[in-house]
Amino acid sequence: MPRIAGITIPENKKIKIALTYIYGIGDSLASVILKESKIDPEKRAKELKDEELALLKKGLDKCKIEGELRRQIISDIKRLREIKCHRGIRHIKGLPVRGQKTKKNSRTVRGNVRKTVSSGRKTAPTPK
C-alpha cells in the first residue's frame, strides 16, 4: 500500500478517490494535483510507479494537509474564543456556529436529547 503524507492510501481505489483519504484533500483538490502531476486519475493506486509517487508528494507539499491543517483550524477557533466574537461564543457554548436553527435541530449538540416516554400505565391484554 502506498504511503503519502503519513497516510496509507487504499490500493484498489482509483488514485483520485484514494487521495481523498488524506485530511484536507477533497475531489476538486485531488483533480488539480493529478492534473499538475500529469497522472491519469483513472489509474489505480497500486499501479503507480515510484516516479509518479514522488510527483504526487511534490504536488502535496504545496497544500496544507493533515497535522498542519488541523493545527491551523484549532488556532483559528482559539483566536475566535479569545476575542469573544459571536462565533467564538458559539464555539464556547457548543452551539452551531454557522447560523443554523436550534429550536428543533441540533439537540445532541445542545445536550438536550429527548427520549420517548410512555404514558406510564400498562395496556390490558385483549380478551379472547
Within a domain: 90: yes
**CATH number of the domain where residue 8 is located:** 1.10.8.50
The residue segments making up the domain with residue 87 are: 66-98
Please identify which residue in the block is written with the cell numbers 502506498. Answer: 2
Q: Are residues 20 and 42 in the same domain?
A: yes
Residues 45, 11 contacting (CB under 8 angstroms): yes
Q: Looking at the structure, tell me whether residues 83 and 38 fall in a common domain.
A: no
Count how many domains the chain has: 2
Q: What is the pLDDT of residue 113?
A: 62
Question: pLDDT tens digits, residue range 60-69?
Answer: 888 888 889 9
Q: Are 26 and 20 in contact (CB under 8 A)?
A: yes
**Looking at residues 92-115, what average pLDDT do you find?**
79
> Which residue has better confidence, 1 or 47?
47
pLDDT surpassing 80 at residue 111: no
Identify the DSSP state of 119. -
pLDDT tens digits, 7-26: 888 889 999 999 999 999 99
Domain annotation covers residue 77 = yes
